[in-house]
Structure 1
Amino acid sequence: MYHSVADPSDDPYRITVSPDRLAAQLRWLRSQGLRGVSMRQLLDAGARGQEHGLVGLTFDDGYRDFVDAAVPLLRSHDCTATLFVLPGRLDGDNAWDPKGPRKPLLGAAGIRRAAEYGMEIASHGLTHVDLTRADDQLLHREISDSRAALADLTGTEAQGFCYPYGHVDERVRNAVRDAGYRYACAIDPGPLSGPFALPRVHIGQNDTAPRLRLKLWTNRLRHRALDRSAVAG
């Protein structure tokens, strides 16, 4: 799970990695015999039993620096990614973050450009609100209207959803499923599991090779524990 690719010096939320750090992380990934792909590609490969060696890469919020800084690095390492965008904030900024610098978001042209480069475009809701606190009307607008807006923008139905702030409960998960999405990403979904509560590992500026190796190892242990839990259930 990534967010912004830019200068991380003023970054109270630790959501920014520098282009040099992202390049080093992608080099390390490839050196381990792994390749970063979009969530759509990862799920398609998993359905065929061919997911070995693939890692899903996601970038939340749709920052403008994704096209300028992240895409060239992803392409140079033969990787793709899923970009979770906010169609209700096109050409806006991260106004939901009370601290730190304002980071510009992609507009329609930038999102289409990312799609042309082979990146998956998926929904992060319309405006980045905590859906677990939303009433039914707002919940529907953030989930279903954002999917319709992305279809109009890209010409393709969005398959994926990402819960803002990583917050999800059973009601929100069911609303995403019922809206026609194929999967949804959280951060740590707690007791929820399955394709609409996919956990992710945060990657930041301090994640050098040793930390990446540790995160990869602990994530594999976690994955095996989830598999055993699913079988036991």
Structure 2
Amino acid sequence: MPASAPPPTPAPVPAAATGSADRTRRADRPGSVPWVAMYHSVDDCSDDPYRVTVTPERLDAQLRWLHRRGLRGVGVAELLAARSRGEGRGLVGLTFDDGYADFLTNALPVLERWECGATLFVLPGRLGGENAWDPLGPRKPLLTADGIRAVAGAGVEIGSHGLTHVDLTKADDELLRAEVAESRAVLTELSGAPVEGFCYPYGTVDQRAVDAVRAAGYGYGCAIDPGGLNGVHVLPRVHIGENDTAVRLHLKYRLHRLRRRPVEGA
């Protein structure tokens, strides 16, 4: 980009506007709570007992809402890196859990339309399988190895959701290691890129699980509500569903930082 003349000296900013700008800078500085949205499946949601599905049309409307407010969705690794440089203003995290096959067909085109990135948390122990952990169904196919490579090739960050979607707080030491460390090794080989992020199945997390994720070399971990735990390996997230229209999104975005403590290292 060619150099240009220095801009003119700006006019004095009203005190009210200065206060608003200061609040925005405080909200985006490293250490404050990043806003990370949690999605799952993007498909028809007429049969959705766990409320984990949004339609492509609803996702499109939600990303339009972000765009109109000067916000852009990115993957969590990109979000954290930008915040560490002091460049996180206007960025929010978008995450999709479980690695449903509909991410490739339904979610990715919508993300690309709005020039958004995302993190997809997948289960390398269930490649090409289905969501057998949801007893009420409906059964949804999961991405194959080729599907995960296609998603990674489109620029989406791939993270681990464990090997098979088990509650890590109830796992013995051997299972915990397999779900956390082995899943990272498999995904690194599969995607051809370092795997930085882990997502705790069911959102359940305790200090033992956090320690295992950190020891396995992950740069961050995503929870839902980590309770008294804190740090970049237990990032809180906001569930986004089919009923989240503009008003609900606005409230969730505004209230998120009021409900959470600052996250050290984020």
Which whole-Å CA distance do the structure 2 matches of 1:178 and 1:220 have between them?
28
2:95 match? 58
* Matched residue count: 227
Which whole-Å CA distance do the structure 1 matches of 2:50 and 2:259 have between them?
25
Are 1:118 and 2:185 matched, yes or no? Answer: no
Which whole-Å CA distance do the structure 1 matches of 2:175 and 2:194 have between them?
21
Structure 1 residue 100 displacement after superposition: 2.2
2:224 match? 187
Q: Which runs of 5+ in 2 are unaligned?
A: 1-37
Structure 1 residue 222 displacement after superposition: 2.9
Structure 1 residue 152 displacement after superposition: 1.2
1:20 to 40, 49, 57: 57
Matches within 5 A, 1:136-215: 136-215=173-252
Are 1:217 and 2:254 matched, yes or no? Answer: yes
2:47 match? 10
Instruction: Determine helix, strand or coil for the equivalent of 1:57.
Output: strand
Higher RCO (CA-CA < 8 Å; seq separation 6+) = 2
Instruction: For 1:203, give the aligned amino acid.
Output: I
Alignment TM-score, normalising by the size of structure 2:
0.84
2:28 match? none
Instruction: For 2:124, give the aligned amino acid.
Output: P
2:110 match? 73
Which whole-Å CA distance do the structure 1 matches of 2:45 and 2:161 have between them?
23
Instruction: For 1:198, give the aligned amino acid.
Output: L
1:101 match? 138
Instruction: Determine helix, strand or coil for the equivalent of 2:159.
Output: strand
1:37 match? 74
1:91 to 121, 125, 128: 128
Instruction: For 1:82, give the aligned amino acid.
Output: T
Structure 1 residue 220 displacement after superposition: 2.9
Instruction: Determine helix, strand or coil for the equivalent of 2:116.
Output: coil
Larger radius of gyration: 2
Which whole-Å CA distance do the structure 2 matches of 1:52 and 1:152 have between them?
33
What is the identity percentage for the equivalent residue pairs of Structure 1 and Structure 2? 64
Q: Which runs of 5+ in 1 are unaligned?
A: none
Instruction: Determine helix, strand or coil for the equivalent of 2:120.
Output: strand
Structure 1 residue 122 displacement after superposition: 0.5
Structure 1 residue 151 displacement after superposition: 1.1
Structure 1 residue 57 displacement after superposition: 0.2
